[in-house]
Amino acid sequence: MADSEKKTTKETSGLEVNLIVNALCTCMFVALLMFMSPAAFAKGDIIQFRTDAPSQHIVVKGDTLWDISETFLSDPWLWPKVWQSNPEIRDPHLIYPGDVITLVYQNGQPKLMLSRQSHKPIIALSPQGIKRLKPAIDLIDWASVEPFINQDQILSNTYIDAGMMVIGNPQQLTRLTSQQLIFATQAPVEHNENNMQNRSKDQYAVVHKQHTIYDMQGATLGVHVKHVADAQYQPISAQQDMLAINDSHLAQVFAITDSKQEITLGDRIVSKPALFDMSNVTLSIADSQQGYVVGGMTTRTRWSKSDVVVIDVGQDQTQPGMVFGIYAPNQSLTYLGNGYAQPLMKQGDLVVIASFATTSFGVIVNANSVIQRGAQLRAP
């Protein structure tokens, strides 16, 4: 087996400590399903295996735990209740390419057996440790989702309009990039929306308004803003502030420390949110929470698996890690003058990844048909 496919471990003072190498919280996501609360499983009722489930699956690079679970189970989040590992597996919470998952029956009940066909070879690096290089698989393919939502936010028009605006720069350019100074309408204020604090003193984000998010009745929920640059506030001395003439306001100064794309006049400066991080999140199942899919990262209104969407459930009702079932939009039926309510037709599942005042971002983890604006969110 190639060295690049081996797992990293380190032995210190006679105790072996597993160090898993992954670019984005790999091992944590695999463990999430293992530590769901009993309440999260209360809705499992009867565990159903898919009628087309294979007898065996060999894990390959690119697999996700959710996809593998969906291969065998009708309800992927119930994975921990039906699987077991061979005794030689030290940490059954971690699954690697090459592992074999087999459908077996014990006392007439179906189980999923995790096994490894051979021990992973090791490389001795020094007397202080040994090294294996092989990352565990993710719960979900977060690497493909993260670039679309990292530091993006949903903000209210009131907060945006009352905030700082880019109005110019010393060179009088209309488009700006890194390592430049910009002028803003006002100095930062203490008020932050979405219960967010600056990551560090005087650090802010320059954002560009993307599109407005509306609820199903047409009322404004907020504005999707895209993070375009990082900025650091450059305080103005009291003496300089005294130079303002004829009651005009003195422009405030920010230094652009990093830019993702060009800054344009009229862009806004807001408190910098924390980086996208699910390392402290555990999965939970929506119960009484309900809502709708109301938008996405662009203005399109149709989505599929792995797309990030906006839902009209805010941080007072949900939090990252909550799983919602996605159901077809509600439609009334009429036949021979009689009205009928359409039953809930499930289309997939969604996991919340960031929450704001009135909305949240969610990633569609599976879908059996196209998801449209107005899709209903209920318990999965």
SS3 sequence of the chain: CCHHHCECEEEECCEEEECCCCCCCHHHHHHHHHHCCHHHHHHHCCCCECCCCCCEEECCCCCCHHHHHHHHECCHHHHHHCEEECCCCCCCCCCCCCCEEEEEEECCEEEEEEECCCCCCCEEEECCEEECECCCCCCCCHHHHHHHHCCCEEECHHHHHHCEEEEECCCCCCEECCCCEEEECCCCCCCCCCCCCCCCCCEEEEEEEEEEEECCCCCEEEEEEEEEEEEEEECCCHHHHCCCCCCCCCCEEEEEEEECCCEECCCEEEECCCCCCCCCCCCEECCCCCEEEEEECCCCCEECCCCEEEECCCCCCCCCCEEEEEECCCCEEEECCEEEECCCCEEEEEEEEEECCCCEEEEEEEECCCEECCCEEECC
Domains of the chain are: 3-139 (no CATH), 151-271 (no CATH), 284-378 (2.40.10)
* Percentage, residues of the chain above pLDDT 70: 65
Q: Rank 8-12, 318-322, 373-377 by mean pLDDT and report only the highest.
A: 373-377
Q: Which of 113-127, 158-172, 214-228, 338-352 has the lowest mean pLDDT?
A: 113-127
Q: Looking at residue 244, what is its pLDDT?
A: 56
Statement: residue 209 has pLDDT above 50: yes
pLDDT tens, position by position, 183-197 = 999 888 765 666 554
Q: Looking at residue 30, what is its pLDDT?
A: 37
**Mean pLDDT (whole number) for 220-239:** 85
Q: Looking at residue 24, what is its pLDDT?
A: 30
Statement: residue 264 has pLDDT above 80: yes
pLDDT tens, position by position, 51-99 = 888 888 888 887 877 788 888 888 777 776 777 767 766 666 678 888 8
**Mean pLDDT (whole number) for 94-122:** 76
The pLDDT-based confidence of 178 (bands split at 50, 70, 90) is: low
pLDDT tens, position by position, 140-177 = 676 667 666 667 889 998 888 888 999 988 877 766 66
| Whole-model pTM over 0.85 | no
Q: Looking at residue 312, what is its pLDDT?
A: 97
Statement: residue 31 has pLDDT above 80: no
